[in-house]
Amino acid sequence: MATRSEIQTYPPLAERPIKNTIVLFDVDGTLTPARLDASPEILLLLSQLRQKVAIGFVGGSDLPKQQEQLGDPLRVPVTSLFDFCFSENGLTAFKLGQPLPSNSFIKYIGEDNYKDLVKFVLHYIADLDIPIKRGTFVEFRNGMVNVSPIGRNASNEERQEFERFDKERGVRREMVERLRERFGHLGLTFSIGGQISFDVFPTGWDKTYCLKHLEEDAKKDGGIEYTTIHFFGDKTMVGGNDYEIYEDPRTTGHSVKGPEDTIRELKEMFDL
């Protein structure tokens, strides 16, 4: 039997009732609880919103993680649920299910510098005195490196415990300061996000990178110039991985505390 999303159709982008407007969403903490699945309520709301306006997500994680959180609950490709999909801040991108040009962290930084960075990170974490350590402390992605002092294999309960510990001790903040001192000359940005990790990427490759895709798409035949770009995110404070796009003059930023906030604001803004 076909699911609701498989039989759902949407007006062409140029014919959406709210013209020249797109709504972009962070994933963790905005559309979903951290690292958990999206709820049926918010997936239904996104489908209703897409009838009126273009929508997209922009997440720091790679596409398989966004598929797990957003697409798997409906058993459909996540690229079918949004008009634009910007994984790894847009380094991997799709429009209407079709891939857009990509870029690579390793091409930018070079293999030798990358090895120096990883060596420094692993030595630092080895000497770090924190209650528990699990596994996958460095995760290489297409557009960035994700670093987790506790390790990305931590359970949800362990993630929550570390988040509380980190708020008191500033483990990630101090580690980022050390990395800026050591590798700042490489033109890298260090951005704390989520519960247990931070991202390392070339300066300018934060979430504002995805806006380049929208600008380039507007120049193509049939492309749309989005004069209004709403962005919803939860890590909008200085140092958070939503800060740059939230504060960008090209966007209208909305800071939320979780999916419930997002649902409430969308209903009020778009009469859903």
**What is 20-103+206-270's CATH number?**
3.40.50.1000
Task: Pick the closest to residue 29 from 229, 266, 241 (CA basis).
Answer: 241
Cβ neighbours around 31 below 10 Å, total: 27
Mean pLDDT of 176-182: 96
Report whether pLDDT(187) > 60. yes
The residue ranges of every structural domain in the chain are 20-103+206-270, 105-202
Helix-helix angle 171-183:111-126, to 10 degrees? 140
Q: Report the pLDDT value the prediction gives residue 234, as an integer from 0 to 100.
A: 96
Give the three-state DSSP class for 71. Answer: helix
Distance CA 107, CA 110 (A): 6
Q: Is the pTM of this model over 0.95?
A: no
pLDDT band at 7 (very low <50, low <70, confident <90, very high): low
Per-state percent for the chain, helix, strand, coil, to nearest 5: 40, 20, 40
- The superfamily (CATH) of domain 105-202 is Eukaryotic phosphomannomutase, cap domain (3.30.1240.20)
Token look-up 């806006």 returns 211
- Residues with catalytic roles: 26, 28
Sequence-separated contacts (24+) of 221-225 with Cβ below 8 Å: 222/14, 224/13, 224/14, 224/20, 224/54, 225/20
Task: Pick the closest to residue 235 from 89, 64, 103 (CA basis).
Answer: 89
Report whether pLDDT(64) > 60. yes
Q: What is the pLDDT of residues 215-228, one digit of tens each?
A: 999 999 989 999 99
Distance CA 22, CA 19 (A): 9
Give, in order, the Cα–Cα distances in Å from 144 to each of 124, 202, 203, 250.
19, 8, 11, 23
Q: What is the pLDDT of residues 71-125, one digit of tens each?
A: 999 999 999 999 999 998 999 999 999 999 988 899 899 999 999 999 999 999 9
